[in-house]
Amino acid sequence: MRQMVGMLCIGGVMLLGACDRMRGGADVDRAFKGVNVIDETNLNDIMLTVANPDEAVEYFRRASRQDPGRIDLQRGLGKSLIRAKRASEAATVWKKVVAHEEVTNDDRVDYADALIRTGDWDQAEIELDKIPPTFETYKRYRLEAMIADSNREWDRADAFYETAVGLTTKPSGVLNNWGYSKLTRGDFSDAEKLFLEAITYDAGLFTAKNNLALARGAQRKYELPVVTMTQVERAQLLHTLGLSAVKQGDVAIGKGLLREAVETHPQHFEAAVRSLRALEANVTN
């Protein structure tokens, strides 16, 4: 009897040891699962920021197929499609995201952004109207400003642009958009100020420099703006000013600026050469 009890005790100890090993294995599995989640999160972040956009699209598309219920993977796919300049596909993905039970206000903003990129301004406005006014982000107000612009609601556009500028530390893009809005309204002086301000935040933003040249040309200010520029940029801005001068009726000044653009460019400046030839041929005729 004692022998049987001893065997049972030994068996019990062995069983307990096995249970401990099983628990230990489960703990290890949980630990590794946690590590995998962290690694996946890091990989997702990498794919959304520094990876090739098309590779990121394939990564998130494959991951979404494997786990279609995860909204974070759908978000990653939508953002990657925007980075890859595939706005129509992105809008389709974001439409699914906003139908998800875990949808956020940020998701609606991203959907509106994709819709604007496809030219669907009306639907973008509908989506933004679903977001409470207490949700204040730079991207939301930048899009609101663009929609107000498209509706020619200038006061609303200005208010939204101003709010957006105050909500970011990198306002060069929105300042450039605001300046272009002023340019299309014929408010050239204010447009010039906004383009200059945009360049102070991003000296490499050539779009703002070119828009600045347009704003100055519209005011018959044909001197190059005092901003940092490369030799190629200088030639391109001279070309823009030359065309602006011709448009204003200052043909002689325009020809001079176009010639300077051709001479300034370090390589052959085909666009400026064509403009100059067309102008000279027209004058001759």
The larger pLDDT score, comparing residue 40 to residue 231, is at: 231
Confidence of residue 49 (pLDDT cuts 50, 70, 90): confident
167-186 burial string, b = 16+ CB within 10 Å, else e? ebeebbbbbbbbbbbbbeee
Per-residue pLDDT tens over the stretch 4-14 = 434 334 344 43
Per-residue pLDDT tens over the stretch 221-230 = 999 999 999 9
Contact 196, 227 (CB under 8 A): yes
Per-residue pLDDT tens over the stretch 99-116 = 999 999 999 999 999 999
Confidence of residue 57 (pLDDT cuts 50, 70, 90): very high
What pLDDT score was predicted for residue 224? Answer: 93
Per-residue pLDDT tens over the stretch 170-213 = 999 999 999 999 999 999 999 999 999 999 999 999 999 999 99
Nearest to 148 by CA among 131, 118, 124, 130: 124
Q: What is the mean pLDDT of residues 38-55?
A: 81
Q: What is the mean pLDDT of residues 44-72?
A: 91
Contact 222, 247 (CB under 8 A): no
**What pTM was computed for the model?**
0.80
Asked if residue 45 has pLDDT above 60, the reply is yes
Asked if residue 23 has pLDDT above 60, the reply is no
Asked if residue 37 has pLDDT above 60, the reply is no
DSSP conformation letters of the chain:
-HHHHHHHHHHHHHHHHHHHHHHHHHHHHHHHHHHHHHHHHHHHHHHHHTS-HHHHHHHHHHHHHHSTT-HHHHHHHHHHHHHTT-HHHHHHHHHHHHTSTT--HHHHHHHHHHHHHTT-HHHHHHHHHTS-TT---HHHHHHHHHHHHHTT-HHHHHHHHHHHHHT-S--HHHHHHHHHHHHHHT-HHHHHHHHHHHHHH-TT-HHHHHHHHHHHHHTT--SPPSS---HHHHHHHHHHHHHHHHHTT-HHHHHHHHHHHHHHSSS--HHHHHHHHHHHHHHH-
Asked if residue 2 has pLDDT above 90, the reply is no
Average pLDDT, the chain: 87
Distance in angstroms (rounded) separating the CA atoms of residues 208 and 175: 9
